[in-house]
């Protein structure tokens, strides 16, 4: 059909006008007010008059239960707590970077330095936290950057191999056993670049955080090698009890302790091994956003979170470790025994996640993408 | 009467909607492909790096090709299953037509995720299909080849798409003038010959519409592959999702999406030479 002159001009006008906002798109989107380069003067703690919420918490799904922050609910019955959920550390980071308004955020320790360097969190004055004295020192040190406490550790745990003991001939004792062809089709890995890179590097005897480009290639090739052994990648932690309970998966790697205790409770014969290279360890904790609107309330919420009873509720609910030693008497003794939650030296046998640089983060994700895309 | 001002008023809102909520985001993504990074300061640096990265990355291209094959298989299978259903509805259903049509559509009203998870139950190693094959002695132990494979992705998606493919074909068949078929019989055509020479060619616009209904969304699928695809069923959409959510590499993700978009547009342009697009719109 013939396009008239008017319509041609209109179409051209629309197309041209689209590119103007598209190019300027960067300038108009809300940006954090501090400088993009690592701040030389750290963001100030803004005293707030507002003591009527809502307090906004950027949180993993599953941690919003009131039993984890009961003292705050008791002290402020009229204040609402809004939760915004994320499923990946990268999601929470992107949300804050693009200007999302939160008071508290709950990332895991490998990201803590990135948050501080990008000015997304403000230093925390630990003298304002009544329950601070019980926090395990080695975990608290993780949250210190440039001598200031940016993150309060809260939950910690392991990543290891969950084994279905009745299906395997002998229980594996090393990360390298995941590659054993006798388990073909019955191994499941977590769909996470960081964890898989680290455990593969450990199995090859390489340091994960100082890998040279040749060693990165080695890790990539080793991960491609495991693909015929795999049943599937698991994405959500609730998948693990399903695939292990049904007997389809015999070895699940980078499983967290909650899967172990869930399956034990269901009567499935499983073991949560300690590989000779060491289990991986993670610790996650709370930071106060540099854009927080309700800083005083945020401190009170934090205090409620690290109270002994709240921490015990976490440990009893998910069988993760609690960062506050005063919670130990309140935790189910079976969990303490099964996961050595009271042995301080277990931390030395565990390979804790280290702080990521932007470059490392990109290496870990691009290696994993290459593995997934490989034929 | 279609005066120019009337056309402008009527077309105005939809065009504005399309421009703001579709074309503008596409343009933003196109500009993003040239940015060095997702967040400031890298975001404001102009570079061709991602183009070089994508062109040099053969695994990603291979994955795009394999996803296109999966999408093609899904579309063709959906058409094969949907055509007889549509034919029956148009020519044989009679008074029951509306009822049967509703029965066909109702599964599409349930949650998409529920339907995929239902297939997980059927195809799993301890699932319905496996237990059935075990009980009739066809296999010896729980089969793990059905689930977590590209074929599981195809089977699940064909099931999901059949109602959507049936509708355009049914519509096209409905519009065929029955007197043409009568004339064919009068002139001595056998039933199947009349079908091949009259019904099938006249229903092709509906078939093409059905094909694209399935092919385009399936090419970018990532939910179904992540739930039932396993290791070998990973599709192009999974990697795009990874770039945006995990890798925080929005420029590369935008580039991958636009490559897919451009390829689909080229296909549609080629196809529209064969079948007039206005026929596709007449659903």
Taking the CA atoms of B204, B206, B212 and B214 in sequence, report the sign of the dihedral they define: negative
Answer whether residue A38 shows pLDDT above 60. Answer: no
Cα–Cα distances in angstroms (integers) from residue A16 to residues A20, A113, A126, B33, B223, in the given order: 7, 42, 54, 18, 35
Looking up tokens 């729980």 gives B142
Assign domain B47-280 to a CATH class.
mainly alpha
pLDDT of residue B133: 83
For residue B275, what are the contacts with CB-CB under 8 A and spacing of at least 6?
B204, B205, B208
Distance of CA B97 to the CA centre of its chain: 26
| Residue B248 contacts residue A94 (beta carbons within 8 Å) | yes
pLDDT of residue A11: 65
Name which of A158, A193, A214 is nearest A360 in CA terms: A193
For residue B87, what are the contacts with CB-CB under 8 A and spacing of at least 6?
B169, B173, B199
User: Cβ A94–B248 below 8 Å, yes or no?
Assistant: yes
What's the pLDDT band for A37 if we cut at 50, 70, 90? very low
User: Cβ B245–A90 below 8 Å, yes or no?
Assistant: yes
Give A144's strand partners. A149
Least CA distance to B117: which residue of chain A? A239
pLDDT in tens, A136-187: 888 899 899 999 999 999 999 999 999 999 999 999 999 999 999 999 989 9
Percent of chain B's residues with pLDDT above 70: 93
pLDDT in tens, B254-270: 999 999 999 999 988 88
Residues of chain B contacting A, Cβ within 8 Å: 4, 15, 19, 23-24, 27-28, 30-31, 35, 38-41, 43-44, 57, 59-60, 62-63, 66, 124-126, 142, 144, 148, 226, 229-232, 234, 238-239, 242-243, 245-249
Q: Burial-class residue B109 by CB neighbours within 10 Å (0-12, 13-18, 19+).
A: exposed
Residue A246 has its nearest CB partner, among B35, B126, B243, at B126
Instruction: Tell whether A374 lies on the interface with B, counting CB pairs under 8 A.
Output: yes
Write out the two tokens for A200. Answer: 């593969």
* Dist CA A323 CA A78 (whole Å): 29
Instruction: State residue A288 phi and psi, 5-degree precision.
Output: -95, 125
User: Cβ A247–B125 below 8 Å, yes or no?
Assistant: yes
Q: Beta strand pairing status for A280-289 and A351-352?
A: parallel
Cα–Cα distances in angstroms (integers) from residue B14 to residues A11, A180, B7, in the given order: 14, 59, 12
Chain B residues within an 8 Å CB radius of A98: 39
Q: Average per-residue pLDDT in chain A?
A: 87
Name which of A180, A271, A243, A176 is nearest B230 in CA terms: A243
Does the ipTM exceed 0.90?
Answer: no
Can you tell me the mean pLDDT for A201-221? 94
Packed helices B150-174 and B200-219: angle between N→C axes, nearest 10 degrees:
140
pLDDT in tens, A224-253: 999 999 999 998 888 899 999 988 899 999
Write out the two tokens for A106. Answer: 């709950």
Write out the two tokens for A312. Answer: 């015990």
Q: Where are the extended beta strands (E) located within chain A? A: 55-60, 81-86, 104-105, 121-122, 144-145, 148-149, 152-164, 187-190, 230-234, 251-255, 270-272, 280-289, 321-322, 351-352
Name which of B156, B130, B159 is nearest B230 in CA terms: B156
Answer whether residue A43 shows pLDDT above 80. Answer: no
Question: Would you list the domain boundaries of chain B?
Answer: 47-280
- Greatest Cα pair distance, chain B, in angstroms, is 76
Answer whether residue A30 shows pLDDT above 50. Answer: no
Instruction: Tell whether A40 lies on the interface with B, counting CB pairs under 8 A.
Output: no
pLDDT in tens, B66-88: 999 999 999 999 999 999 999 99
Question: 3-state class of A155 per DSSP?
Answer: strand
Name which of A166, A173, A124 is nearest A147 in CA terms: A124
Please tell me the pTM assigned to this model: 0.85
Answer whether residue A133 shows pLDDT above 80. Answer: yes
pLDDT of residue A34: 39
What's the pLDDT band for B189 if we cut at 50, 70, 90? confident
Name which of A284, A309, A305 is nearest A132 in CA terms: A305
Distance of CA B50 to the CA centre of its chain: 28
| Residue B266 contacts residue B183 (beta carbons within 8 Å) | no
pLDDT in tens, A328-340: 899 988 888 888 8
Bigger pLDDT: A311 or B137? A311
Give A155's strand partners. A284, A322
**What is the count of residue pairs from A and B with beta carbons less than 8 Å apart?**
106
SS3 of chain B: CCCHHHHHHHHHHHHHHHHHHHHHHHHHHHHHCCECCCCCCHHHCECCHHHHHHHHCHHHHHHHHHHHHHHHHHHHHHHHHHHHHHHHHHHHCHHHHHHHHHHHHHHHHCCHHHHHHHHHHHHCCCCHHHHHHHHCCCCCCCCCCCCCCHHHHHHHHHHHHHHHHHHHHHHHHHCCCHHHHHHHHHCCCCHHHHHHHHHHHHHHHHHHHHHHHHHHHHHCCCHHHHHHCCCCCCCHHHHHHHHHHCCCCHHHHHHHHHHHHHHHHHHHHHHHHHCCHHHHHCC
Chain B residues within an 8 Å CB radius of A1: none
Looking up tokens 């066809």 gives B138
User: Cβ A235–B226 below 8 Å, yes or no?
Assistant: yes
Q: Burial-class residue A125 by CB neighbours within 10 Å (0-12, 13-18, 19+).
A: middle
Name which of A184, A158, A171 is nearest A257 in CA terms: A158
Q: Burial-class residue A28 by CB neighbours within 10 Å (0-12, 13-18, 19+).
A: exposed
């Amino acid at each position: 059909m013939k396009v008239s002159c008017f319509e041609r001009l209109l179409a051209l006008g629309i197309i041209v006008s689209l590119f103007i906002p598209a190019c300027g798109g960067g300038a108009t989107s809300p940006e954090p007010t501090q400088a993009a380069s690592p701040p030389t003067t750290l963001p100030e703690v803004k005293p707030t008059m507002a003591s009527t919420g809502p307090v906004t918490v950027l949180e993993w799904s599953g941690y919003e239960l009131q039993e984890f922050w009961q003292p705050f609910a008791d002290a402020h019955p009229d204040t609402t707590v809004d939760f915004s959920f994320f499923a990946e550390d990268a999601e929470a980071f992107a949300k804050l970077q693009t200007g999302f308004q939160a008071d508290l955020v709950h990332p895991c320790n490998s990201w803590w330095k990135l948050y501080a360097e990008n000015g997304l969190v403000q230093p925390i004055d630990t003298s304002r936290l009544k329950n601070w004295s019980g926090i395990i020192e080695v975990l608290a040190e993780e949250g210190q950057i440039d001598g200031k406490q940016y993150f309060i550790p809260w939950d910690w745990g392991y990543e290891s191999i969950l084994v279905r003991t009745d299906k395997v001939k002998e229980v594996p004792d090393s990360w390298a056993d995941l590659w054993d062809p006798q388990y073909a089709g019955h191994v499941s890995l977590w769909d996470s670049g960081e964890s898989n890179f680290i455990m593969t590097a450990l199995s090859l005897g390489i340091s994960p955080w100082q890998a040279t480009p040749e060693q990165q290639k080695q890790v990539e090739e080793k991960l491609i090698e495991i693909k015929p052994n795999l049943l599937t990648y698991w994405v959500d932690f609730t998948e693990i009890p399903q695939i292990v309970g049904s007997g389809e998966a015999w070895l699940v790697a980078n499983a967290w302790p909650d899967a172990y205790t869930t399956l034990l409770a269901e009567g499935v014969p499983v073991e949560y091994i300690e590989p000779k290279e060491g289990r991986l360890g993670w610790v996650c904790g709370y930071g106060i956003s540099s854009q927080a609107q309700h800083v005083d309330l945020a401190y009170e919420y934090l205090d409620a979170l690290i109270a002994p009873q709240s921490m015990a509720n976490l440990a009893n609910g998910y069988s993760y470790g609690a960062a506050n030693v005063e919670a130990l008497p309140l935790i189910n003794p079976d969990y303490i025994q099964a996961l050595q939650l009271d042995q301080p030296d277990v931390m030395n046998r565990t390979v804790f996640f280290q702080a990521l640089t932007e470059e490392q983060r990109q290496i870990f994700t691009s290696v994993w993408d290459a593995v997934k895309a490989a034929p | 009467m279609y005066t120019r001002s009337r056309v402008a008023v009527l077309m105005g809102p939809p065009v504005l909607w399309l421009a703001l909520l579709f074309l503008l985001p596409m343009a933003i993504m196109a500009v993003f492909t040239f940015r060095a990074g997702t967040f400031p300061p890298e975001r404001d640096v102009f570079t061709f790096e991602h183009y070089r990265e994508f062109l040099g990355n053969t695994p990603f291209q291979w994955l795009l090709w394999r996803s296109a094959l999966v999408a093609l298989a899904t579309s063709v299978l959906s058409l094969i299953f949907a055509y007889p259903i549509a034919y029956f509805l148009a020519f044989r259903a009679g008074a029951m037509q509306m009822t049967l049509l509703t029965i066909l559509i109702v599964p599409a009203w349930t949650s998409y995720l529920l339907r995929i998870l239902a297939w997980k139950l059927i195809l799993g190693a301890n699932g319905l299909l496996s237990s059935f094959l075990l009980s009739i002695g066809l296999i010896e132990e729980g089969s793990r080849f059905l689930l977590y494979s590209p074929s599981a992705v195809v089977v699940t998606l064909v099931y999901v798409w059949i109602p959507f493919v049936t509708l355009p074909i049914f519509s096209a068949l409905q519009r065929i003038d029955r007197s043409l078929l009568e004339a064919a019989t009068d002139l001595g055509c056998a039933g199947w010959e009349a079908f091949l020479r009259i019904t099938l060619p006249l229903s092709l616009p509906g078939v093409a519409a059905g094909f694209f209904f399935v092919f385009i969304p399936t090419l970018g699928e990532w939910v179904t592959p992540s739930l039932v695809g396993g290791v070998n069923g990973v599709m192009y959409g999974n990697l795009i999702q990874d770039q945006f959510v995990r890798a925080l590499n929005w420029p590369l993700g935008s580039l991958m999406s636009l490559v897919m978009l451009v390829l689909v547009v080229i296909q549609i342009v080629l196809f529209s030479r064969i079948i007039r697009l206005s026929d596709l719109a007449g659903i």
